[in-house]
Amino acid sequence: MQNGLELDTMKRTIKLTACLFYLISFLSLPQFVWSQAGEPKLIRDTDIAEGKDSAEASASKGPNPILALQNVNIGNYYLKQKNYAAAIQRFTEAIEYQADLPKAYEGLAMAYEKNGQIHKSVETYKGFLEKNPDSPKVPQFRSRLAKLERQIK
């Protein structure tokens, strides 16, 4: 019977010690987080905002379909947020990673159009059609191009 009581006491002691350990850890966490945080840092999405040379950034880019799709997805997000300048940058970067990606050209042309740069939108569609005449998107792009050219006139 005494061994059973000693075992219960040991279990309670272990549980109490664990609870105290977690409590002390939890209480000291905010101090650690605040001491590491300092002043908030600005998060920038563009190399231009950080003063990096765009030629330097584009020189290191090679074919990478995964990064191209990531940039397209981020560009689509920016389109939905109506941040057309950021969308343009992301779609342009996607094209640098994969030059035959119809989604990137379509998004870029749409971002230019929404940003009021109809001429650049037309150039984007024409550029895709010249580089990719066998793409299944050609009829859709030609139709959109014709509509945009009518707007310009």
Per domain, the residue ranges of the chain are 1-41, 54-152
List the chain pLDDT tens, one digit each, 153 residues. 566 667 788 788 888 787 666 666 655 544 444 444 444 444 455 555 555 555 445 455 778 889 999 999 999 999 999 999 999 999 999 999 998 899 999 999 999 999 999 999 999 989 888 988 888 888 998 998 889 888 887
CATH classification (class only), 54-152: mainly alpha
Alpha helices in 1-153 (DSSP H): 2-37, 54-59, 65-80, 84-97, 102-114, 118-131, 138-152
Asked whether the whole model's pTM tops 0.85, one would answer no
Q: Assign residue 61 a region: left if phi > 0, alpha if psi is -120 to 50, beta otherwise?
A: beta
CA–CA gap between residue 104 and residue 75 (Å, rounded): 8
In angstroms, the Cα distances linking 138 to 66, 76, 141 are 23, 21, 5
Tokens linked to 94: 């996607």
Distance CA 52, CA 61 (A): 15
CA dist list (Å): 70 to 1, 98, 128: 66, 11, 20
Q: Is the four-CA dihedral 42, 43, 44, 50 of positive or negative sign?
A: positive
Q: CA separation (Å) from 98 to 27, 52, 68, 95?
A: 50, 22, 6, 5
CA dist 66 and 110 (Å) reads 22
Q: Which two tokens stand for residue 99?
A: 């030059």
